[in-house]
Structure 1
Amino acid sequence: MDKHQLQIEMDTYKIRQLHDSEAMLYKAMRLEAIQTEPSMFRCSSPAEADLTDEEWRERVKYPRAVFILLDNEIPIGMTSILRLNEDEAYLGQSYIKKEYRGKGLSGLLYKIRMKWASKLPLKRLTVSHRESNTISKAANQRLGFVFTHREPLNWLDGTTEDVLYYSLELSQKVHHKEALQDN
């Protein structure tokens, strides 16, 4: 993957790929997301709050790309994509601060990740969400993701609820051109 950092703008909003040197911005936004919305994130081992700064730096490097959502250069959200293997990447870690939700900004999170994926010879994208997260379900289905399976999962809020998985076959969608168009 080349070192060119992706970016998309919409009005006062911008989403851009983080540079390796911006790992602490990723750390701050991710930890805020987990603390603010524990019901939306999975338990991880080790817990993300316990990661070292070096481990955070590694998490912004390929095969992962992390994107920061900004309003006039103020961080208001984030998302990531992780290449799992030669054919597939996983979309995850999406978060938008509550006061910015309902403004159509989740579309930017999908567009930037689809744009990143289009630069690779991937065949499939996968995404998942907590079963009760109907907003996430609607967002991924607008882009053509199809339900594949479910699994029980322990969430950071201490509850257990199924996680639903979806996939998008890129060979059939030709990298979903509508999602790649810039505003």
Structure 2
Amino acid sequence: MSIQPLTLESDPYSIRQLLESEFEYYKSIRLEAIQTEPTLFRWSNPAESDLSDLDWQERIKYPRIVFGLFKKDDLIGMTSMLLLNDTEAYFGQSFIRPEHRGQGLSSLLYKIRMTWVNTQQIKRLIISHREINTISKKAILRAGFEYSHRELVHWLDGTTGYSLYYRLEL
């Protein structure tokens, strides 16, 4: 599917959809995210640190849509969506480098994803966070999501805990 990549500007920040050819951006910020915040991301098999460049190229392709958050030309964050089917999308993989947090940048991550889904026939959005991540919970509720359920999952830090799920009907 060919969709015009989106870009949003909020000087000095911009967020834009990464092209498939920019998989290295995705790889670098995603690996930084899981190394920086292993308590907040799920364990995956195979481990993302073991993926080949070909695997990363596949992971940035549709039905995943990846957005990079930049300060000038420096990649400082990311977020993604995974289209589950023709009418549902999962929002995930959000990360902003710690030194750039607290500036309202997460609103840009929500805004660009919402702009993208509003151009499609998406009817339901799903998002989750680790139960202990109260900052993420506040942002999710502020974006209009409603609690759905919880699931016991394995986290990258080697622990098991609950992931809370939310949904938003459009």
Scaled by the length of structure 1, the TM-score of the pair is: 0.91
Give the match's secondary structure for 2:2: coil
- Percent identity of the aligned residues? 59
Letter in structure 1 aligned against 2:114: M
Q: Indicate the residue corresponding to 1:158 in structure 2.
A: 158
Query: How many residues in Structure 1 have an aligned counterpart in Structure 2?
Result: 170
For the residue of structure 1 that corresponds to 2:39, the secondary structure is helix
Q: In the alignment, which residue of structure 1 is the partner of 2:168?
A: 168
Instruction: Identify the residue that residue 57 of structure 2 maps to in structure 1.
Output: 57
Structure 1 gaps, min length 5:
171-183
- CA offsets 1:53-110 (integer angstroms, 9 cap, x no match): 1111111111111000000110100000010012200000000000000000000011
Measured after TM superposition, the shift of residue 3 of structure 1 is 3.4
Q: Distance in 2 between matches of 1:107 and 1:29?
A: 19
For residues 2 and 120 of structure 1, the distance between their equivalents in structure 2, rounded to whole angstroms, comes to 12
Question: Letter of the aligned partner of 1:129 in structure 2?
Answer: H
CA distance in 2, matches of 1:149, 1:125: 14
Q: CA deviation at 1:51?
A: 1.0
Runs of 4+ in 1 over 4 A off after TM superposition: none
RMSD: 0.8
Distance 2:83 2:135 in 1: 24
TM-superposed CA distance for 1:2, in Å, is: 3.0
5+ residue gaps, structure 2, are none
1:106 maps to what in 2? 106
Match of 1:135 in 2: 135
2:93: which partner in 1? 93
Cα deviation 1:14-63 (Å, max 9, x = unaligned): 00000110001100110010001100100011111111111111111111
In 2: Cα distance, 1:46 partner to 1:117 partner:
29
Q: What letter corresponds to residue 81 of structure 1 in structure 2?
A: M
